[in-house]
């Protein structure tokens, strides 16, 4: 797909799916996450060492009941360290995107001091997924990033362990055009956006799309696109990686 076609689709639909990583790059990233996942569990629950060493990450839900899932997998623990981010760059994580958009950079949304990249674990059943939302709402309300400073921001999301259409990401095409505002509530000690009745009605009356992303693919989406994690019932844990990017091309 040519650069002009990518940007045309991105601006019209609010998102575009891309072939993103080589097989070797994907396997290196997957291995890095699996090693982090195992080491965190073993550090906190050494009695599960043998079981975790034998378990594939997509089977995490099989032992999750033995853990304090919410407190074990805080965002801080799921952030890649600065040295790990440098390793990801060495793997070529964004080399293809920079070929398309030379000014592209990964953004530090939370103010950790280096490019912010993190991963998620989502168990079957829907407990780990949030309702449909816009990232721009969180960036404005939770992170206090002014609207003007958000110009050119977008998001990259890609699966590490998932089943296409079944436990990945869902989107509402063209929802960047909706003129709706969030309500604000306090959750986990921070102000966060929530859906108004008007927005909830819009979501109910517009079709969503479950993205059929295969390994090595990603979705690049607008900061104002409504999207959601698919609340799946299939017997597999979903693992994904995401990060915010900035380029003049996305304004």
pLDDT per position as a tens digit, 105-131: 999 999 999 999 999 999 999 899 988
Cα 176 versus chain centre, distance: 18
What angle separates helix 23-44 from helix 82-91, to the nearest 10 degrees?
160
% of the chain exceeding 90 in pLDDT: 94
Residue 181 has a pLDDT of 95
Residue 99 has a pLDDT of 94
Residue 130 has a pLDDT of 84
Please state the rounded mean pLDDT for residues 219-244: 96
Please state the rounded mean pLDDT for residues 91-97: 93
Task: Provide DSSP, 156-167.
Answer: EEEEEE--TTTS
Residue 1 in this model has a pLDDT that exceeds 80: no
List all residues 6 or more positions away from 56 whose beta carbon is below 8 Å from its beta carbon. 161
Please state the rounded mean pLDDT for residues 61-72: 95
Domains of the chain: 3-250 (2.60.120.620)
Residue 5 has a pLDDT of 95
% of the chain exceeding 70 in pLDDT: 100
Q: Which of 161, 199, 134 is nearest to 58 (CA)?
A: 161
Please state the rounded mean pLDDT for residues 33-57: 96
Distances (CA, A) of 79 to 52, 74, 96: 21, 9, 22
Residue 165 has a pLDDT of 86
For the chain, what is the mean pLDDT?
A: 95
Measure the CA–CA gap between 90 and 186, rounded to whole angstroms: 39
Measure the CA–CA gap between 22 and 15, rounded to whole angstroms: 21
């Amino acid at each position: 797909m040519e650069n002009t076609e990518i940007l045309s689709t991105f601006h019209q639909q609010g998102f575009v799916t891309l072939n993103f990583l080589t097989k070797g790059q994907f396997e290196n990233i997957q291995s890095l996450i699996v090693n982090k996942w195992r080491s965190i569990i073993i550090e906190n629950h050494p009695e599960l060492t043998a079981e975790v060493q034998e378990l594939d990450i997509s089977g995490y839900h099989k032992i999750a009941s033995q853990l304090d899932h919410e407190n074990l997998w805080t965002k801080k623990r799921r952030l890649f360290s600065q040295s790990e981010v440098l390793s990801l760059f060495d793997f070529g994580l964004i080399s293809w995107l920079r070929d398309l958009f030379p000014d592209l950079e990964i953004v530090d949304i939370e103010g950790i001091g280096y490019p912010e990249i993190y991963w998620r674990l989502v168990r079957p059943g829907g407990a780990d997924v949030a309702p449909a939302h816009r990232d721009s709402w969180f960036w404005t309300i939770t992170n206090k990033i002014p609207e003007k400073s958000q110009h050119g921001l977008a998001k990259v999301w890609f699966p590490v362990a998932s089943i296409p259409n079944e436990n990945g990401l869902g989107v509402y095409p063209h929802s960047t055009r909706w003129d709706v505002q969030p309500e604000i509530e306090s959750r986990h000690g921070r102000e966060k956006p929530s859906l108004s009745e008007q927005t909830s009605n819009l979501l109910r009356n517009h079709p969503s799309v479950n993205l059929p992303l295969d390994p090595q693919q990603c979705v690049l989406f607008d900061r104002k696109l409504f999207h959601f994690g698919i609340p799946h019932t299939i017997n597999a844990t979903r693992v994904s990686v995401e990060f915010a990017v900035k380029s003049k091309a996305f304004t």
